[in-house]
Amino acid sequence: MHSLSMPWESMRTSNQIVDVGTCKFSSVQFSSIRYGTVQLSKCQAVKKNGEVKMCGSRKLVGLGSILCFVFVAVISRGLAQEVTIADQRAAELAKLAIDGLHREYPNKPSNVLASAADVRSPKELHPAFYGCFDWHSSVHGHWMLVKLLKSNPGHALAAESRTKLAESLTVEKITAEVVYFQTKENRSFERMYGWAWLLRLVAELRTWQDPDAARWSEALRPLEREIVSLTLGYLPRLSVPIRTGVHPDTAFALGQILDYARLVGDDGLEQAIVKRVKEYYDGDRGYVSEFEPSGEDFFSPSLNEADLMRRVLPREEFRDWLERFLVYQDGQSHRKLLTPVVVSDVTDGKLVHLAGLNLSRAWTLAAVAEHLPEGSRWKEPFARSAEAHLKAGLEYVFSGHYEGEHWLGTFAVYALTGVGR
């Protein structure tokens, strides 16, 4: 699996932890390292004169700034490594969610008012998921806290994270969320973006052997069942997929829900999704990526589609599909799609979406590159682009502005931890 080790991360080998974030190491042994197109085996990384050298001569990355990037390829035949977020950075990310989960305002409700009785506060409408500006951001903020508790159980805000999760994920509050979805006017609420994040949260809890996780997972079961039922009822009626760089994108949602179905063993849901995915996307070819992105995108619809298709096709079939979909002509093919974007104003809630685009492109490009067989024309270009996008996206996560901070932490954690791969 390809992972990026950032200033936030540690690299764990079989005998030691190296803090890449502070770059304090002087000598580290690796079984194999990949940086861009360079792969070395059984090499030594040595810090010398503010730089990291490999095998005594090859520069891996400069350490002149606070950023210290190492691109690690874990090779199955080599020494197993685990790439994790450093505890200090995990706590800083967790704080973004903690500060927002139970912050009711500002808030952007998207409910339908069936009568004057529906004019209620966000907390009254959604007692579990009312914070973080909107429902889906609240849900994936909860997911981020769970993910960080699993990966970094000892981080400084772990206890507070558990307290916040316990405050939200109660039987009473989740029951109220279910009732909301059962109202006729609300059955399409958060379709399918929020649904996808809810099921990602459930899957994260279900795969965590922890007493609190078991209790929270059980509390969520009624809402989980409701969302699964809504999904199964919706897919046969969605005649064509929604292709967009924002919330309603079908490919992103189906990728998340397919992962959920496989993790919890819901064969019926998995089969329904796989069938629909092939009907929606299998014949796609000749995509014109020059029209991406739009000015407020946080997704690439084409890369979300590719990230979905690699989940349903064998490697060789996926390679052939991808080369029909994103035609490779030369080294300049689809350069705009593979080039990180710049955010002009992090205080604008729409324009800052582009920071998320960098991060979502990073995780889709990395996952697709990993799934492609060796020798595929897109494998190395996608891997290199994933590095560049992750570096660009992470620069915007801690902006000091709620417009981005209420959600970008989730995208950073998703990209850094290789979720769905």
| For residue 192, cis peptide bond before it (omega within 30 degrees of 0) | yes
- Decide if pLDDT at 285 tops 70: yes
pLDDT given for residue 19 in this prediction: 35
pLDDT (tens digit per residue) in 250-265: 999 999 999 999 999 9
Residues 21 and 152 both lie in one domain: no
pLDDT given for residue 200 in this prediction: 98
- Decide if pLDDT at 56 tops 70: no
Mean pLDDT score, 33-53: 33
pLDDT given for residue 386 in this prediction: 98
Of 26, 55, 84, the residue that ends a domain is 84
Mean pLDDT score, 41-68: 32
Show the 3-state SS of the chain: CEEEECCCEEEECCCCEEECCCCCCCEEEEEEEEECCEEEEEEEEEEECCEEEECCCEEEEECCCCCCCEEEECCCCCCCCEEEECHHHHHHHHHHHHHHHCCCCCCCCCCCCCCHHHCCCHHHHCCCCCCCCCHHHHHHHHHHHHHHHHHCCCCCCHHHHHHHHHHHCCHHHHHHHHHHHHCHHHCCCCCCHHHHHHHHHHHHHHCCCCHHHHHHHHHHHHHHHHHHHHHHHHHHHCCCCCCCCCCCCHHHHHHHHHHHHHHHCCHHHHHHHHHHHHHHHCCCCCCCHHHCCCCCCCCCHHHHHHHHHHHHCCHHHHHHHHHHHCCCCCCCCCCCCCCCCCCCCCCCCCCCHHHHHHHHHHHHHHHHHHHCCCCCCCHHHHHHHHHHHHHHHHCCCCCCCHHHHCCHHHHHHHHHHCCCC
* Nearest to 274, CA basis, from 292, 287, 262, 284: 262
Q: From CA 379, how far away is CA 233, in angstroms rounded?
A: 37
Residues 80 and 94 both lie in one domain: no
Residues 73 and 96 both lie in one domain: no
Position 84 confidence tier, pLDDT thresholds 50, 70, 90: confident
Domain count, the chain: 2
* Nearest to 68, CA basis, from 140, 18, 5: 5
- Decide if pLDDT at 29 tops 90: no
Residues 311 and 206 both lie in one domain: yes
Report the DSSP beta bridge partners of residue 17.
12
Mean pLDDT score, 270-292: 98
Least confident of 36-40, 215-219, 385-389: 36-40
Residues 21 and 136 both lie in one domain: no
pLDDT (tens digit per residue) in 2-21: 333 344 444 333 333 333 33
- Decide if pLDDT at 47 tops 80: no
Residues 163 and 307 both lie in one domain: yes
Q: What does each C-alpha distance from 6 to 11, 292, 298, 365 come to in angstroms? A: 10, 27, 21, 17
Of 36, 69, 84, the residue that ends a domain is 84
pLDDT given for residue 26 in this prediction: 29
pLDDT given for residue 1 in this prediction: 34
Residues 205 and 219 both lie in one domain: yes
pLDDT (tens digit per residue) in 332-359: 999 999 999 999 999 999 999 999 999 9
Helix (H, G, I), strand (E, B) or coil at 401: coil
In contact, 162 and 113? CB cutoff 8 Å: no
pLDDT given for residue 201 in this prediction: 98
Residues 78 and 160 both lie in one domain: no
What CATH code is carried by the domain that includes residue 281?
1.50.10
How far from each other are the two terminal CA atoms of the chain, in whole angstroms? 8
Q: What is the pTM of this model?
A: 0.84
- Decide if pLDDT at 397 tops 50: yes
Residues 252 and 158 both lie in one domain: yes
pLDDT (tens digit per residue) in 121-154: 999 999 999 999 999 999 999 999 999 999 999 9
pLDDT given for residue 219 in this prediction: 98
Domain containing 66 equals 2-84
Position 44 confidence tier, pLDDT thresholds 50, 70, 90: very low
Residues 332 and 356 both lie in one domain: yes
Of 65, 84, 103, the residue that ends a domain is 84
Q: How high is the mean pLDDT of the chain?
A: 85
Residues 7 and 141 both lie in one domain: no
pLDDT (tens digit per residue) in 303-332: 999 999 999 999 999 999 999 999 999 989
Residues 119 and 208 both lie in one domain: yes
In contact, 54 and 28? CB cutoff 8 Å: no
| For residue 106, cis peptide bond before it (omega within 30 degrees of 0) | yes
- Decide if pLDDT at 165 tops 50: yes
